[in-house]
Amino acid sequence: METLILLSPVARFFQGERSAFIQVIAFLGVWLGFWLPLAIPLVLTREWRPFQPLKWEQKLPLLASLYLLVPLVVWTTSPNGRSSFSSYGWIWKRTTLQSAAIGFALAVSGLIILWAIERSFGWLELKLDPSLSAKPNPISRSKILPPQIAIAVASLPIFGLAVWIGGTEELVFRGVLLDLFDRDYSLWISAAIASAIFALLHLIWDIRDTLPQLPGLWLMGIVLTLARICDGGSLGLAWGLHAGWIWGISCFDTLFVVRYTGKISPWITGIATKPLAGILGVLLLITTGAILTFSSGIYPLS
């Protein structure tokens, strides 16, 4: 109870008549303020500096400590308290999970088609990482793990992380930030600004690999905003899409040995093997947006 009393002035700040930019900066500031006591010891033990590359096992504790705070930050900064989650599009209904499943399937299917095209033209070669098959088989006494089981076992923890990260980022960027900007600007200007923040914040983890992806990350934010519109304001469809892209790309990077043959420019397939840093990845996002628009029958620009 004392904590809620102490935090109530924060919620009152967001209830006042202040510009969207001021409120967004305040929201991010509260989030950072909660995170720093947890982040500083983690940063010191890992000798990491912001904007410097991190291995996934180094990044995960930092990311986990940051994202676990999101529900608390949302509850703290919203005058609506618990109801703020539904007002931001996080609606706890069966239809939300159904929309998330559809979005996940659409995202993964798009990635599979993208990589199949690249393989068919000889631009990409990949095979299962041999180290996966060498792991003990948890199902039978055989020491050799069949490829199908190896992929399934290794992809499960990635799936859990993708669902959590995708849902958290959607709540923040297509939920809180989009709604805050929408108070002062039109929907698509709000979406453009929130998507720019979404893209730029990825630079914190790695500037070198993220810079070529900035246009793709911005467009990804726009498509995910469109998904929320097509889902009637719910974040379910956007959550599924986001989680599907994270899961698919992470599985691709960690479960397979990938080699781009160099037969075509990386500007086509993706600079530094990042799909969002290539023309084909951008076309995938545009196609996904078109599918969402025509399948829902909602034309937000008309």
Model pLDDT, residue 63: 92
Q: Does residue 8 register a pLDDT over 80? A: no
pLDDT of residue 257: 84
Q: How confident is the model at residue 7 (pLDDT cuts 50, 70, 90)?
A: very low
pLDDT tens-digit profile of 204-243? 888 888 999 999 999 999 999 999 999 999 999 999 999 9
pLDDT of 4 > 50? The answer is no
Give which of 167, 17, 10 is closest to 78, Cα–Cα: 10
Q: What pLDDT is attached to residue 256? A: 85
CA 91 to chain centre: 18
Backbone angles phi, psi at 66, to 5 degrees: -75, -45
- Residue whose C-alpha is closest to residue 256's, from 154, 173, 120, 160: 154
Per-residue pLDDT, 167 = 97
pLDDT-derived band at 265 (thresholds 50, 70, 90) equals: very high
The pLDDT assigned to 3 comes to: 43
The string of pLDDT tens digits covering residues 63-72 is: 999 999 999 9
Count of C-beta atoms within a 10 Å radius of residue 59? 15
| Cα distances (angstroms) measured from residue 78 to each of 11, 15, 26, 133 | 5, 8, 12, 49
CA distances from 151 to 28, 60, 103, 108, 244 (A): 37, 21, 22, 15, 16
Query: Contact, 199 vs 218, CB < 8 A?
Result: yes
Higher pLDDT: 255 or 3? It is: 255
* Token output for 233: 């304001």
pLDDT at 168 over 90: yes
